[in-house]
Amino acid sequence: MAAVYSDYSRDRVGLFFGLTGVQLGILVGAGAPLLWAINQQRWLLMLMLALLWAMVAVPVTTSFAAR
């Protein structure tokens, strides 16, 4: 028996791990100040920028089990 999936879509072609050029540019742009802080050995600034970069890089999705 064949199953039909209405929400199926083909994979997108991305430049780097499925990211588009814009997404890759945002990640690199957000990570550049982090590398500068490491170069200048400003560790507290590096920690704060790493947390900021993580908020940009990691998508937050919420799904509640009790819907």
Residue 63 falls inside a structural domain: no
Residue 29 falls inside a structural domain: yes
Is 14 in contact with 20 (CB distance < 8 Å)?
yes
Is 34 in contact with 49 (CB distance < 8 Å)?
yes
pLDDT bracket for residue 62 (50, 70, 90):
low
Our count of domains for the chain comes to 1
Residue 36 falls inside a structural domain: yes
The reported pLDDT for the residue numbered 27 is 82
Residue 26 falls inside a structural domain: yes
pLDDT bracket for residue 43 (50, 70, 90):
very high
Residue 4 falls inside a structural domain: no
Residue 44 lies in domain: 21-57
SS3 category, 19: strand
The reported pLDDT for the residue numbered 5 is 67
Say whether pTM exceeds 0.85: no
Q: How many CB atoms lie within 10 A of CB 49?
A: 20
Residue 62 falls inside a structural domain: no
Is 55 in contact with 30 (CB distance < 8 Å)?
no
Mean pLDDT of 14-20: 75
The reported pLDDT for the residue numbered 57 is 78
